[in-house]
Homo-oligomer: A and B are copies of this chain.
C-alpha cells in the first residue's frame, strides 16, 4: 500500500467544499501535488482563496520550503481526478448514498494499493465501502475543523478493511505532520466527537438546571481545563493530578470522588426551552459577533497556540 514517506506524490481531493479545500491547502504546503474534484462550479475559486489565505500560516507551521501553492489542478469528473493519484482524501457531503456512489466510482478505476480515505464524521467505513470492489483499502481519515490547522486525524477501517491500509494511512498522515490516531473498532462518532459529546451533555445539563450561564460554563473549560487539554489529554492530566504517584495514586485517592461525580452527571432533554437558553446564552456570551468573525479570531489564535506548542517542544 502506498503511504510510507516518499510513496505519495499526488493526492486526489474528492469533494472540495470547506473541508476538502482546507485539506488541499494543507497537502500543497507539504510539497504534494493535488488534483481536486467537486460538482460545484465555485469549487476551484474556493480552493484558490483557501490556499492564498492559508499559505503564510502553513509555511510557519511546518510547510516545506520547496512547496508550490500552484501545484494543483481541477477535474470536474472524480474518476479523471483520481487517475495517477497515490492517495485519495474524500470529503463529499455527509450522506451515505452520495458517498457510496462516489467511492465505488473511484474504487473501480484506482489501483488496489492506493488508500481511499474518507473525511466523514458520522458514517462508518463498513457502510461506505459496501459497494466497493476493494473495500479493504477504504477507510476513514477524519480531520478536525479547520483541517489545515488541527493536527488530529482519526483513522479507522471497516469490517473488511485491511491492517495494511490503516498502517499506510497512518504513515502517510504522520509523514506530512499530522497526528493520526488509530481507532481499533468502529464506534459511532469515532473518538473525539464522542468525547466532545460527553462533555457537552454535562455542559447542557448545567445550563438547563440553572447552575450557571452558558458563558460561565464555557469559561469553566476555556479558562480552566481547556488550557491543559491543549497540551495533554484527560488521562495524562489526571496522571499529573496524582503527583509523584501519578495515575496509580490518582486512582487510589481520587477515583471515588470522580465516581461520585459520574453518579451525579445529568442526562438533559434538549427541548425547545433548553434550546432557547443555549441560543440566547451563546449570543450573550459572544457579544453578538457573527460565527464567521468568531471563527476568524479563533483560527488566528489557533495559529499562535500551535506556534507556542512548537516552540515548547
Contacts and interface: CB of A to CB of B under 8 A. Distances in A.
A240 B312 contact: no
Contact of A206 (B191, B258, B304): B191
Contact of A229 (B154, B226, B242): B226
Contact of A291 (B122, B219, B240, B300): B240
Nearest to A265: B198
Given A197-B258, A239-B294, A242-B291, A212 B230 contact: no
Number of copies: 2
Interface residues of A, number: 109
Interface in A198-250: 198-203, 206-207, 209-214, 216-248
A309 B301 contact: yes
A298 interface: yes
A312 B286 contact: no
Interface stretch (A54-62, A83-91, A126-134, A145-153): A145-153
A282 interface: yes
Interface stretch (A72-80, A157-165, A273-281): A273-281
Contacts of A244: 290-292
A234 B297 contact: no
Interface stretch (A35-43, A103-111, A182-190): A182-190
A240 to B, nearest CB: 5
A98 B147 CA distance: 51
A213 B235 CA distance: 11
A233 B261 contact: no
Nearest to A312: B301
Contacts of A95: none
Given A212-B181, A235-B278, A294-B239, A197 B270 contact: no
A195 B154 CA distance: 23
Contacts of A200: 234-235, 238, 258
A189 B312 contact: no
Contact of A182 (B216, B312, B313): B216
B230 A222 contact: yes
A96 interface: no
7 contacts: A191-B220, A194-B202, A203-B233, A231-B302, A246-B283, A248-B279, A308-B308
Among all A-B residue pairs, the 3 with the closest Cβ atoms: A218-B233, A226-B229, A152-B224
